[in-house]
Homo-oligomer: A and B are copies of this chain.
Protein backbone atom coordinates (compact mmCIF):
# COMPACT_ATOMS: atom_id res chain seq x y z
CA UNK A 1 0.00 0.00 0.00
CA UNK A 2 1.53 3.28 -1.13
CA UNK A 3 0.50 6.52 0.54
CA UNK A 4 0.44 9.82 -1.40
CA UNK A 5 -0.74 12.98 0.29
CA UNK A 6 -2.40 10.79 2.90
CA UNK A 7 -4.25 8.79 0.25
CA UNK A 8 -3.72 5.02 0.30
CA UNK A 9 -2.98 3.53 -3.11
CA UNK A 10 -3.36 -0.17 -3.75
CA UNK A 11 -0.41 -2.08 -5.11
CA UNK A 12 -2.05 -5.46 -5.83
CA UNK A 13 -0.72 -7.36 -8.81
CA UNK A 14 -2.67 -10.55 -9.47
CA UNK A 15 -5.08 -12.31 -11.76
CA UNK A 16 -8.70 -12.00 -10.65
CA UNK A 17 -11.26 -14.74 -10.41
CA UNK A 18 -14.14 -12.75 -11.87
CA UNK A 19 -17.76 -13.85 -11.60
CA UNK A 20 -19.01 -10.84 -13.52
CA UNK A 21 -18.13 -7.18 -13.91
CA UNK A 22 -20.95 -5.74 -11.77
CA UNK A 23 -19.66 -7.69 -8.78
CA UNK A 24 -16.32 -5.87 -8.96
CA UNK A 25 -17.83 -2.60 -7.77
CA UNK A 26 -18.49 -3.84 -4.26
CA UNK A 27 -15.06 -5.46 -4.05
CA UNK A 28 -13.34 -2.32 -5.22
CA UNK A 29 -15.30 -0.26 -2.74
CA UNK A 30 -13.65 -2.23 0.04
CA UNK A 31 -10.14 -1.25 -1.01
CA UNK A 32 -10.34 2.16 -2.67
CA UNK A 33 -10.50 5.07 -0.18
CA UNK A 34 -13.97 6.62 0.09
CA UNK A 35 -13.22 9.86 -1.74
CA UNK A 36 -11.51 8.14 -4.63
CA UNK A 37 -14.20 5.51 -4.90
CA UNK A 38 -16.94 8.15 -4.86
CA UNK A 39 -15.19 10.03 -7.65
CA UNK A 40 -14.95 6.89 -9.77
CA UNK A 41 -18.39 5.40 -9.15
CA UNK A 42 -20.45 8.58 -9.05
CA UNK A 43 -22.69 10.08 -11.68
CA UNK A 44 -24.22 13.53 -11.76
CA UNK A 45 -27.25 14.79 -9.81
CA UNK A 46 -29.53 11.91 -8.81
CA UNK A 47 -27.81 9.56 -11.27
CA UNK A 48 -30.92 9.01 -13.36
CA UNK A 49 -28.93 8.98 -16.58
CA UNK A 50 -26.29 6.74 -15.05
CA UNK A 51 -28.99 4.21 -14.17
CA UNK A 52 -30.68 4.66 -17.54
CA UNK A 53 -27.38 3.70 -19.16
CA UNK A 54 -27.74 0.22 -17.68
CA UNK A 55 -31.48 -0.08 -18.18
CA UNK A 56 -31.25 0.91 -21.83
CA UNK A 57 -29.56 -2.35 -22.81
CA UNK A 58 -32.79 -4.14 -21.91
CA UNK A 59 -34.58 -2.07 -24.55
CA UNK A 60 -33.05 -4.32 -27.20
CA UNK A 61 -32.81 -8.10 -27.32
CA UNK A 62 -30.50 -10.47 -29.14
CA UNK A 63 -32.31 -13.18 -31.07
CA UNK A 64 -30.71 -16.57 -30.50
CA UNK A 65 -29.67 -17.97 -33.87
CA UNK A 66 -29.71 -21.69 -33.73
CA UNK A 67 -28.92 -23.05 -37.17
CA UNK A 68 -25.98 -20.78 -37.81
CA UNK A 69 -23.36 -23.34 -38.71
CA UNK A 70 -20.65 -21.42 -36.91
CA UNK A 71 -18.18 -22.17 -34.14
CA UNK A 72 -15.25 -20.54 -32.42
CA UNK A 73 -16.34 -16.93 -32.74
CA UNK A 74 -13.51 -14.47 -33.15
CA UNK A 75 -13.14 -11.14 -31.38
CA UNK A 76 -10.47 -9.72 -33.64
CA UNK A 77 -11.28 -6.53 -35.51
CA UNK A 78 -9.55 -3.65 -37.21
CA UNK A 79 -10.48 -0.05 -36.53
CA UNK A 80 -8.60 3.07 -37.71
CA UNK A 81 -6.30 0.65 -39.46
CA UNK A 82 -5.27 -0.77 -36.09
CA UNK A 83 -5.52 -4.56 -35.82
CA UNK A 84 -7.10 -5.44 -32.46
CA UNK A 85 -7.72 -8.76 -30.77
CA UNK A 86 -10.92 -7.50 -29.17
CA UNK A 87 -13.53 -4.84 -29.92
CA UNK A 88 -13.59 -3.97 -26.23
CA UNK A 89 -11.40 -0.96 -25.55
CA UNK A 90 -10.27 0.95 -22.51
CA UNK A 91 -12.25 4.17 -22.35
CA UNK A 92 -10.25 7.23 -21.30
CA UNK A 93 -10.69 7.46 -17.56
CA UNK A 94 -9.07 10.12 -15.41
CA UNK A 95 -6.88 9.81 -12.36
CA UNK A 96 -6.34 6.08 -12.15
CA UNK A 97 -3.83 6.62 -9.39
CA UNK A 98 -6.91 6.81 -7.21
CA UNK A 99 -7.29 3.08 -7.76
CA UNK A 100 -3.70 1.85 -7.91
CA UNK A 101 -0.18 3.10 -7.41
CA UNK A 102 0.80 2.18 -10.96
CA UNK A 103 -2.23 3.96 -12.35
CA UNK A 104 -2.56 4.12 -16.13
CA UNK A 105 0.72 2.25 -16.58
CA UNK A 106 -0.83 -0.93 -15.23
CA UNK A 107 -3.99 -0.33 -17.22
CA UNK A 108 -1.90 -0.01 -20.36
CA UNK A 109 -0.10 -3.24 -19.52
CA UNK A 110 -3.34 -5.11 -18.89
CA UNK A 111 -4.97 -3.88 -22.07
CA UNK A 112 -1.82 -4.68 -24.07
CA UNK A 113 -1.91 -8.22 -22.71
CA UNK A 114 -5.30 -8.82 -24.33
CA UNK A 115 -4.42 -7.06 -27.56
CA UNK A 116 -6.92 -4.30 -26.98
CA UNK A 117 -6.89 -0.57 -27.48
CA UNK A 118 -5.87 1.70 -24.60
CA UNK A 119 -6.95 5.31 -24.25
CA UNK A 120 -5.40 7.54 -21.66
CA UNK A 121 -6.84 10.75 -20.30
CA UNK A 122 -5.33 14.21 -20.21
CA UNK A 123 -5.99 13.99 -16.50
CA UNK A 124 -4.13 10.68 -16.09
CA UNK A 125 -2.02 10.05 -13.01
CA UNK A 126 0.90 8.91 -15.11
CA UNK A 127 2.35 10.88 -17.98
CA UNK A 128 1.68 10.27 -21.66
CA UNK A 129 5.17 8.99 -22.15
CA UNK A 130 5.14 6.69 -19.12
CA UNK A 131 1.76 5.21 -19.99
CA UNK A 132 2.85 4.71 -23.57
CA UNK A 133 6.08 3.05 -22.45
CA UNK A 134 4.15 0.69 -20.18
CA UNK A 135 2.06 -0.33 -23.18
CA UNK A 136 5.25 -1.42 -24.83
CA UNK A 137 4.17 -0.76 -28.37
CA UNK A 138 0.56 -1.80 -27.99
CA UNK A 139 -1.86 0.66 -29.61
CA UNK A 140 -2.98 3.65 -27.57
CA UNK A 141 -5.08 6.74 -28.07
CA UNK A 142 -4.61 9.96 -26.21
CA UNK A 143 -7.63 11.81 -24.90
CA UNK A 144 -7.49 15.58 -24.89
CA UNK A 145 -9.44 17.94 -22.64
CA UNK A 146 -9.06 21.09 -24.66
CA UNK A 147 -7.59 24.13 -22.94
CA UNK A 148 -8.08 27.75 -23.86
CA UNK A 149 -4.31 27.77 -23.83
CA UNK A 150 -3.27 26.39 -27.19
CA UNK A 151 0.35 26.00 -26.14
CA UNK A 152 -0.92 23.44 -23.65
CA UNK A 153 -3.03 21.67 -26.26
CA UNK A 154 -0.21 21.61 -28.73
CA UNK A 155 2.30 20.41 -26.17
CA UNK A 156 0.05 17.48 -25.30
CA UNK A 157 -0.63 16.66 -28.94
CA UNK A 158 3.08 16.76 -29.64
CA UNK A 159 3.86 14.54 -26.72
CA UNK A 160 1.16 12.05 -27.68
CA UNK A 161 2.49 11.93 -31.21
CA UNK A 162 6.00 11.44 -29.93
CA UNK A 163 4.84 8.67 -27.61
CA UNK A 164 3.35 6.81 -30.55
CA UNK A 165 -0.37 7.45 -30.03
CA UNK A 166 -2.53 6.11 -32.84
CA UNK A 167 -5.10 8.83 -32.49
CA UNK A 168 -6.51 11.68 -30.46
CA UNK A 169 -9.81 11.55 -28.62
CA UNK A 170 -11.14 15.06 -28.20
CA UNK A 171 -13.67 15.14 -25.38
CA UNK A 172 -16.34 17.76 -25.98
CA UNK A 173 -19.07 16.87 -23.45
CA UNK A 174 -17.31 18.17 -20.39
CA UNK A 175 -17.07 21.90 -20.97
CA UNK A 176 -18.26 22.12 -17.41
CA UNK A 177 -18.26 19.35 -14.82
CA UNK A 178 -21.53 17.52 -14.23
CA UNK A 179 -22.98 18.11 -10.78
CA UNK A 180 -21.56 15.07 -8.97
CA UNK A 181 -22.97 14.83 -5.52
CA UNK A 182 -20.70 12.09 -4.22
CA UNK A 183 -17.70 14.40 -4.59
CA UNK A 184 -19.52 17.14 -2.70
CA UNK A 185 -20.57 14.80 0.09
CA UNK A 186 -17.01 13.48 0.37
CA UNK A 187 -15.41 16.95 0.05
CA UNK A 188 -13.26 15.26 -2.54
CA UNK A 189 -10.02 16.86 -3.71
CA UNK A 190 -7.62 15.06 -6.03
CA UNK A 191 -4.83 13.77 -3.78
CA UNK A 192 -2.78 12.34 -6.64
CA UNK A 193 -1.06 14.77 -9.02
CA UNK A 194 -2.04 14.67 -12.67
CA UNK A 195 1.19 13.96 -14.44
CA UNK A 196 0.51 15.74 -17.71
CA UNK A 197 -0.52 18.93 -15.97
CA UNK A 198 2.37 18.75 -13.56
CA UNK A 199 4.80 18.22 -16.41
CA UNK A 200 3.44 21.16 -18.35
CA UNK A 201 3.37 23.34 -15.30
CA UNK A 202 6.88 22.57 -14.13
CA UNK A 203 8.70 20.98 -16.96
CA UNK A 204 8.18 22.99 -20.07
CA UNK A 205 9.61 26.16 -18.82
CA UNK A 206 6.39 28.10 -19.18
CA UNK A 207 5.91 28.11 -15.43
CA UNK A 208 2.15 27.72 -15.18
CA UNK A 209 0.54 26.47 -12.02
CA UNK A 210 -1.86 23.58 -12.13
CA UNK A 211 -4.75 25.69 -10.89
CA UNK A 212 -4.12 28.00 -13.78
CA UNK A 213 -4.26 25.11 -16.23
CA UNK A 214 -7.49 23.87 -14.76
CA UNK A 215 -9.04 27.26 -14.98
CA UNK A 216 -7.94 27.41 -18.59
CA UNK A 217 -9.97 24.35 -19.61
CA UNK A 218 -12.16 25.46 -22.48
CA UNK A 219 -15.91 25.83 -21.97
CA UNK A 220 -16.49 26.99 -25.48
CA UNK A 221 -15.86 24.23 -27.99
CA UNK A 222 -17.15 24.16 -31.54
CA UNK A 223 -16.48 22.69 -34.94
CA UNK A 224 -13.69 25.20 -35.46
CA UNK A 225 -11.79 23.69 -32.55
CA UNK A 226 -12.11 20.21 -34.00
CA UNK A 227 -10.83 21.61 -37.26
CA UNK A 228 -7.90 23.33 -35.59
CA UNK A 229 -6.86 20.22 -33.72
CA UNK A 230 -7.35 18.01 -36.75
CA UNK A 231 -5.19 20.28 -38.83
CA UNK A 232 -2.49 20.62 -36.16
CA UNK A 233 -1.96 16.89 -35.75
CA UNK A 234 -1.70 14.26 -38.43
CA UNK A 235 -3.22 11.72 -36.07
CA UNK A 236 -6.87 10.82 -36.54
CA UNK A 237 -9.10 12.93 -34.26
CA UNK A 238 -12.05 11.20 -32.66
CA UNK A 239 -14.69 13.43 -31.12
CA UNK A 240 -16.01 12.03 -27.84
CA UNK A 241 -19.30 12.90 -26.20
CA UNK A 242 -21.49 12.86 -29.29
CA UNK A 243 -25.10 12.01 -28.47
CA UNK A 244 -27.01 13.23 -31.51
CA UNK A 245 -26.91 12.75 -35.28
CA UNK A 246 -26.44 16.50 -35.66
CA UNK A 247 -23.29 16.63 -33.54
CA UNK A 248 -21.90 13.60 -35.36
CA UNK A 249 -22.27 15.37 -38.68
CA UNK A 250 -20.78 18.60 -37.36
CA UNK A 251 -17.80 16.65 -36.06
CA UNK A 252 -17.25 14.82 -39.34
CA UNK A 253 -17.69 18.04 -41.24
CA UNK A 254 -14.97 19.56 -39.09
CA UNK A 255 -12.57 16.77 -39.89
CA UNK A 256 -13.24 14.16 -37.20
CA UNK A 257 -11.87 10.75 -38.15
CA UNK A 258 -14.11 9.03 -35.62
CA UNK A 259 -17.26 9.61 -33.58
CA UNK A 260 -17.34 8.55 -29.96
CA UNK A 261 -20.86 8.12 -28.59
CA UNK A 262 -20.83 8.52 -24.83
CA UNK A 263 -22.54 10.40 -22.07
CA UNK A 264 -19.42 10.22 -19.98
CA UNK A 265 -20.78 7.33 -17.98
CA UNK A 266 -23.65 9.37 -16.64
CA UNK A 267 -21.25 11.88 -15.08
CA UNK A 268 -22.19 14.94 -17.13
CA UNK A 269 -25.69 15.89 -18.30
CA UNK A 270 -28.09 14.14 -15.94
CA UNK A 271 -31.54 14.09 -17.49
CA UNK A 272 -30.04 13.16 -20.83
CA UNK A 273 -30.85 9.88 -22.56
CA UNK A 274 -29.02 6.64 -21.99
CA UNK A 275 -26.10 6.59 -24.37
CA UNK A 276 -27.13 3.21 -25.80
CA UNK A 277 -30.54 4.62 -26.70
CA UNK A 278 -29.04 7.21 -29.03
CA UNK A 279 -26.28 5.04 -30.48
CA UNK A 280 -28.30 3.67 -33.36
CA UNK A 281 -29.49 7.06 -34.56
CA UNK A 282 -25.97 8.48 -34.41
CA UNK A 283 -24.50 5.48 -36.22
CA UNK A 284 -27.12 5.77 -38.94
CA UNK A 285 -26.20 9.41 -39.46
CA UNK A 286 -22.49 8.53 -39.57
CA UNK A 287 -23.38 5.83 -42.08
CA UNK A 288 -19.95 4.26 -42.19
CA UNK A 289 -18.06 7.44 -43.06
CA UNK A 290 -15.86 7.07 -39.98
CA UNK A 291 -15.65 4.50 -37.17
CA UNK A 292 -18.01 4.81 -34.21
CA UNK A 293 -16.85 4.16 -30.66
CA UNK A 294 -19.35 3.66 -27.85
CA UNK A 295 -19.20 3.61 -24.08
CA UNK A 296 -21.44 4.23 -21.03
CA UNK A 297 -22.85 1.46 -18.92
CA UNK A 298 -21.22 -1.59 -20.52
CA UNK A 299 -20.94 -4.44 -18.03
CA UNK A 300 -21.88 -7.64 -19.89
CA UNK A 301 -20.87 -9.46 -23.03
CA UNK A 302 -24.43 -9.00 -24.20
CA UNK A 303 -24.06 -5.22 -23.77
CA UNK A 304 -21.01 -5.23 -26.00
CA UNK A 305 -22.87 -7.32 -28.56
CA UNK A 306 -25.87 -5.01 -28.53
CA UNK A 307 -23.68 -1.93 -28.94
CA UNK A 308 -21.83 -3.47 -31.88
CA UNK A 309 -25.14 -4.53 -33.44
CA UNK A 310 -26.40 -0.97 -33.00
CA UNK A 311 -23.58 0.60 -34.96
CA UNK A 312 -20.50 0.72 -32.74
CA UNK A 313 -17.13 -0.42 -34.10
CA UNK A 314 -15.46 -0.39 -30.70
CA UNK A 315 -17.00 -0.58 -27.26
CA UNK A 316 -15.32 1.02 -24.29
CA UNK A 317 -15.42 0.17 -20.62
CA UNK A 318 -14.27 2.49 -17.87
CA UNK A 319 -15.20 1.87 -14.26
CA UNK A 320 -15.02 -1.98 -14.38
CA UNK A 321 -11.48 -1.83 -15.71
CA UNK A 322 -10.53 0.64 -13.00
CA UNK A 323 -11.98 -1.71 -10.39
CA UNK A 324 -9.91 -4.50 -11.91
CA UNK A 325 -6.90 -2.21 -11.69
CA UNK A 326 -7.53 -1.56 -8.01
CA UNK A 327 -7.97 -5.23 -7.25
CA UNK A 328 -5.18 -6.70 -9.36
CA UNK A 329 -3.10 -4.10 -11.15
CA UNK A 330 -2.19 -4.93 -14.73
CA UNK A 331 -3.32 -8.51 -14.30
CA UNK A 332 -6.58 -7.34 -12.81
CA UNK A 333 -7.25 -5.18 -15.84
CA UNK A 334 -6.35 -8.09 -18.07
CA UNK A 335 -8.76 -10.34 -16.16
CA UNK A 336 -11.58 -7.86 -16.65
CA UNK A 337 -11.05 -7.68 -20.41
CA UNK A 338 -10.64 -11.44 -20.65
CA UNK A 339 -13.79 -12.12 -18.69
CA UNK A 340 -15.88 -9.69 -20.71
CA UNK A 341 -14.45 -11.13 -23.92
CA UNK A 342 -15.45 -14.63 -22.82
CA UNK A 343 -19.00 -13.51 -22.11
CA UNK A 344 -19.05 -11.85 -25.52
CA UNK A 345 -17.84 -15.01 -27.25
CA UNK A 346 -20.61 -17.08 -25.64
CA UNK A 347 -23.20 -14.57 -26.83
CA UNK A 348 -21.64 -14.49 -30.30
CA UNK A 349 -21.79 -18.28 -30.57
CA UNK A 350 -25.42 -18.42 -29.38
CA UNK A 351 -26.37 -15.58 -31.71
CA UNK A 352 -24.75 -17.35 -34.63
CA UNK A 353 -22.13 -14.70 -35.32
CA UNK A 354 -18.60 -15.81 -36.07
CA UNK A 355 -16.96 -12.42 -36.48
CA UNK A 356 -17.35 -8.91 -35.19
CA UNK A 357 -18.56 -7.98 -38.66
CA UNK A 358 -21.30 -10.59 -38.31
CA UNK A 359 -22.29 -9.04 -35.00
CA UNK A 360 -22.47 -5.62 -36.59
CA UNK A 361 -24.92 -6.92 -39.19
CA UNK A 362 -27.21 -8.45 -36.58
CA UNK A 363 -30.76 -7.16 -36.19
CA UNK A 364 -31.92 -6.74 -32.59
CA UNK A 365 -35.48 -6.90 -31.31
CA UNK A 366 -36.97 -4.00 -29.37
CA UNK A 367 -39.54 -5.43 -27.00
CA UNK A 368 -40.21 -3.36 -23.90
CA UNK A 369 -40.24 -5.17 -20.55
Contact = CB atoms under 8 A, between A and B. Distances in A.
B181 A66 contact: no
Interface in A16-56: 19-20, 22, 45-46, 48, 52, 55-56
Interface in A269-284: 269-274, 277-278
A176 B349 contact: yes
Given A71-B220, A343-B45, A346-B176, A19 B272 contact: no
Interface stretch (A104-112, A130-138, A204-212, A237-245): A237-245
A248 B184 CA distance: 43
A322 interface: no
Given A46-B20, A63-B244, A176-B346, A269 B351 contact: yes
Given A19-B181, A219-B72, A300-B45, A347 B271 contact: yes
A64 B20 contact: no
A175 interface: yes
A350 B20 contact: no
Given A57-B271, A175-B350, A367-B277, A220 B64 contact: no
Given A273-B365, A367-B273, A241 B66 contact: yes
Contacts of A226: 67
Interface residues of A, number: 78
Given A20-B45, A269-B347, A224 B55 contact: no
A302 B45 contact: yes
A350 B173 CA distance: 7
Nearest to A256: B67
A65 B57 CA distance: 23
Contact of A350 (B52, B63, B185, B269): B269
24 contacts: A19-B185, A20-B45, A20-B181, A48-B58, A52-B369, A57-B271, A61-B272, A63-B244, A64-B269, A64-B272, A66-B242, A67-B226, A67-B239, A67-B251, A69-B224, A173-B350, A175-B349, A176-B349, A219-B349, A270-B300, A271-B300, A271-B302, A272-B350, A278-B365
Interface of A: 19-20, 22, 45-46, 48, 52, 55-58, 61-72, 172-173, 175-179, 181, 184-185, 218-224, 226, 239, 241-244, 247, 250-251, 254, 263, 268-274, 277-278, 300-303, 305-306, 342-343, 345-347, 349-351, 365, 367-369
